[in-house]
């Protein structure tokens, strides 16, 4: 582990306490002069660190920047989020995650960026990803599941996002099929799952997550103002983004391990409990047709069941949904 990471971990383990230069140098296995140099570097990175003679160093405030070190400090997982590739500004984290995955990045690798200049949404739509206010990240997973089951991973991710939002903000989100997170009637988060597979073998999935964390109303362009919201707007508080990502990774790991062991049943019931869609009269448009009906629930595989005006039930695998 690098020395910066060790120092940040030590500060996180003892919040608001002074840690002596001697203790830090023992923990990190380096001289006190080296500790002092790294403290100076951390200050340049935006960390506010108090230094008091005879007492040592104390963390006053960490910068509101998503660094690999901040995400890894205090992260309680064994694989999800253990490798973080953090960027300032990139066109999109999705192709970077594909590149990393194809070069063998381990399962659970996270690619994150402060800003995306060409963020991608579903169905070729753009995803507004301004600097410093959101969580724009792509997670690499390598589940040993057959190809037709891969949409279940999107439903699983939506369940984990909804749970983490509720735990971290107290705001109650709803999942709009298949992969949008709503608060009230506005979208706060979206998921874009991309697949790399051969005939019937999944090589890896890149799960792209966009979360409007700390935007104010003025931060949204006019065309989004009436349909999008942020956690800050809804909860009235600024979100600690690094902490949110840690809790998301921990929740994801638990849910994912359970899914790989036990199957889809639990995800299905959690998804249905948090659904915005079930019980609503909706119109779905697929490439072949447009269907209207009431969303009844998911089947055992995660396919949406729609009941039309004549009482006939239809399975909806993938579609654009209107309410």
**267 is a contact residue toward ligand BTN (CB under 6 A):** no
By CB under 6 A, which span of 5-13, 35-43, 91-99, 291-299 interacts with ligand BTN? 91-99
Q: How far apart are CA 84 and CA 66, in angstroms?
A: 10
Residue 165 contacts residue 268 (beta carbons within 8 Å):
no
Segment near ligand BTN (CB under 6 A); pick from 6-14, 31-39, 123-131, 259-267:
123-131
**Candidate list 120, 128, 232, 247; residue touching ligand BTN; CB under 6 A:** 120
DSSP tag of 143: -
**If binding is defined by CB under 6 A, does position 178 make contact with ligand BTN?**
no
> 119 vs 293, which CB is nearer to ligand BTN?
119
3-state secondary structure at position 105? coil
- Residue 52: strand pairing partners: 56
Selected binder of ligand BTN within 47, 136, 204, 271 (CB under 6 A): 136
Instruction: Name, in order, each residue with C-beta under 8 angstroms of 230's C-beta and a sequence gap of 6 or more.
Output: 133, 134, 188, 212, 213, 214, 215, 216, 219
Toward ligand BTN, which CB reaches closer, 3 or 191?
191
C-alpha of 71 from chain center:
12
Residues 182-221 binding ligand BTN (CB under 6 A) are 190-192, 208-210
- State how far the alpha carbon of 194 is from the alpha carbons of 41, 118, 150, 255, in Å: 38, 16, 10, 20
By CB under 6 A, residue 314 contacts ligand BTN: no
Annotated binding-site positions: 116, 187
Q: Where are the alpha helices (DSSP H) in 170-274?
A: 222-225, 231-235, 241-262, 265-273
Task: Quickly tell me which residue has 């997982």 as its tokens.
Answer: 77
- Residues binding ligand BTN: number (CB under 6 A): 21
Interface with ligand BTN by CB under 6 A: which range of 129-137, 218-226, 283-291, 312-320? 129-137
Known binding residues for biotin are: 116, 187
Residue 92 touching ligand BTN (CB under 6 A): yes
Q: Which residue is listed with tokens 């002596």?
A: 20
Does 133 help bind ligand BTN (rule: CB under 6 A)? no
- Cα separation of 296 and 286, whole Å? 18
* Site of interaction with ligand BTN (CB under 6 A): 92-94, 116, 119-122, 125, 127, 129, 136-138, 180, 190-192, 208-210
């Amino acid at each position: 582990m690098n020395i910066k990471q060790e120092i940040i971990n030590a500060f996180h383990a003892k919040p608001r306490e002074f840690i002596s230069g001697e203790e830090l140098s023992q923990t990190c296995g380096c001289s006190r002069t080296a500790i002092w140099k790294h403290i100076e570097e951390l200050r340049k990175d935006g960390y506010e660190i108090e230094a008091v003679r005879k007492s040592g160093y104390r963390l006053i405030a960490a910068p509101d920047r998503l660094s690999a070190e901040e995400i890894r400090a205090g992260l309680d997982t064994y694989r999800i989020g253990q490798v973080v590739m953090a960027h300032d500004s990139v066109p999109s984290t999705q192709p970077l995650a594909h590149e990393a995955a194809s070069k063998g990045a381990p399962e659970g690798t996270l690619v994150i960026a402060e800003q995306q200049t060409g963020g991608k949404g579903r169905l070729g739509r753009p995803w507004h990803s301004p600097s410093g206010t959101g969580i724009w990240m792509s997670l690499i997973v390598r589940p040993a599941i057959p190809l037709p089951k891969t949409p279940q991973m999107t439903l699983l991710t939506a369940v984990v996002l909804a749970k983490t939002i509720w735990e971290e903000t107290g705001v109650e989100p709803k999942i709009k099929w298949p992969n949008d997170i709503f608060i009230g009637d506005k979208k706060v988060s979206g998921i874009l799952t991309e697949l790399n597979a051969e005939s019937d073998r999944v090589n890896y999935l890149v799960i792209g997550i966009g979360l409007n964390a700390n935007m104010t109303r003025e931060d949204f362009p006019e065309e989004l103002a009436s349909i999008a919201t942020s956690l800050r707007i809804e909860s009235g508080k600024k979100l600690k983004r690094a902490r949110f990502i840690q809790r998301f990774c921990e929740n994801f790991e638990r849910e994912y391990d359970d899914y790989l062991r036990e199957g889809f049943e639990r995800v299905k019931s959690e998804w249905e409990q948090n659904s915005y869609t079930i019980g609503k009269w909706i119109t779905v448009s697929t490439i072949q047709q447009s269907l209207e009906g009431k969303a009844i629930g998911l089947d055992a595989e995660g396919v949406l069941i729609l009941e039309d005006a004549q009482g006939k039930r239809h399975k909806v695998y993938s579609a654009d949904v209107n309410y």
